[in-house]
Amino acid sequence: MAITYKDAGVDIDAGNALVDRIKPLAKSTTRPEVLGGIGGFAALCRIPTGYQNPILVSGTDGVGTKLKTAFAANRHDTIGIDLVAMCVNDVLVTDAEPLFFLDYFGTGSLDVDTATSVISGIAEGCRQARCALVGGETAELPGLYHGKDYDLAGFCVGVVERDAIRPQRDLADGDVVIGLPSAGLHSNGHSLARKVVLEILALPLDARPALLGGSSVADEMLRPTIIYADAFARMRAAKLPWKAAAHITGGGLLENPPRIFADDRLAVELDPRTWDVPAILQLIASAGIEATEMRRTFNLGIGMTIVVPANVADHAVAMLAPERARVVGRLVPRAGGEPSRFIGD
């Protein structure tokens, strides 16, 4: 009897069928700089015109154990947005314009419908980020991944003018910190979130506790990460003199904002009275999680911080009104203390 690759758990025909479905999704995200399309061995992209001294910026990430909630809820249409967001938002903080994105989709047994749903979300994320989905890798690895479970990784490349790279080194006492609200959990802290919500509070994914205002646990756990590309494009076009930005990911509001500093002169002082904590995070905190643990694990409702000179703070908030921006803090002398602090502690 002839033994085939499919007998070993790898379905080449399914992989080819997925490529056929991906092609129109990728085409919907294209940019004029992209040469060719899906199906080659590598992707080609020109540097956009108008740059005098262009620097390429790259970022890579995944979505962590948020995938486990997607598996349990059998909802795969937005997890791809999270993947793009986690990579693109990291690139944006340098003031880079996102150019293109590639993904890695690894699974034990390729389900074409599920993979198409995931990659549809990736394409939507790329449209929101104004970057092209130029390709990726689909790997069917029986014995390494369990059944139809899958893992994701993403890779984004952007471009920035050398003299525009952030963070700038003229950060000063009194500079204002502007916060752009998150949609909720985004894609960090899900191991703790799942333990608290599903085990300690023992809530099923279809539960609709009053605190969530009619949304289900699954709705809130899977709410996609906001992509802040429009906000940064608007600031770039208006030449707003912002100085630094931090994407609030792993490490939460405690560890990410101070990553803008090159030395120990300054600290970030945040005022938690200036923004609302999303209901899903209030629910998690209700289980008795200490404030410090919440701050170093979750974004607590702020997905991005942007530092601007005090004299342009009002203008910046008005410009970022579509993102519901607000002043959430300022830079202060560190004076031997921690690099971040919260008013009221």
pLDDT of residue 7: 64
Q: Which residue has the tokens 């707003």?
A: 240
For 144, the token pair is 């390494």
Do 6-164 and 176-342 show the same overall fold?
no
- Structural domain 6-164, CATH architecture: 2-Layer Sandwich (3.30)
pLDDT of residue 19: 84
| Cα–Cα dist 97/236, whole Å | 9
* Longest CA–CA separation in the chain, Å: 78
For 63, the token pair is 């979505």
Predicted confidence pLDDT, tens digits, the chain (345 residues) = 688 777 677 878 888 888 889 888 888 999 999 997 777 788 899 999 999 999 999 999 999 999 999 999 999 999 999 999 999 999 999 999 999 999 999 999 999 999 999 999 999 999 999 999 999 999 999 989 988 999 999 999 999 999 999 999 999 999 999 999 999 999 999 999 999 999 999 999 999 999 999 999 999 999 999 999 999 999 999 999 999 999 999 999 999 999 999 999 999 999 999 999 999 999 999 999 999 999 999 999 999 999 999 999 999 999 999 999 999 999 999 988 899 999 977
The C-alpha angle with vertex 55 and arms to 54 and 57, in degrees rounded to 5, equals 140
- Phi then psi for residue 287, to 5 deg, are -80, 0
* Pairs from 67-70 (Cβ < 8 Å, separation ≥ 24): 67/149, 67/150, 67/151, 67/152, 68/190, 68/194, 69/190, 69/194, 69/205, 69/218, 69/221, 69/222, 70/222
Fold classification of 176-342 is Phosphoribosyl-aminoimidazole Synthetase; Chain A, domain 2 (3.90.650)
DSSP letter at 344? T
pLDDT of residue 317: 98
pLDDT of residue 36: 77
pLDDT of residue 9: 76
DSSP letter at 325? -
For 130, the token pair is 């104004």
Which residues are 269's β-sheet partners?
330, 341
- In the chain, where the domains are located: 6-164, 176-342
Residue type, 194: R
pLDDT of residue 3: 82
Task: Say if pTM beats, i.e. exceeds, 0.85.
Answer: yes
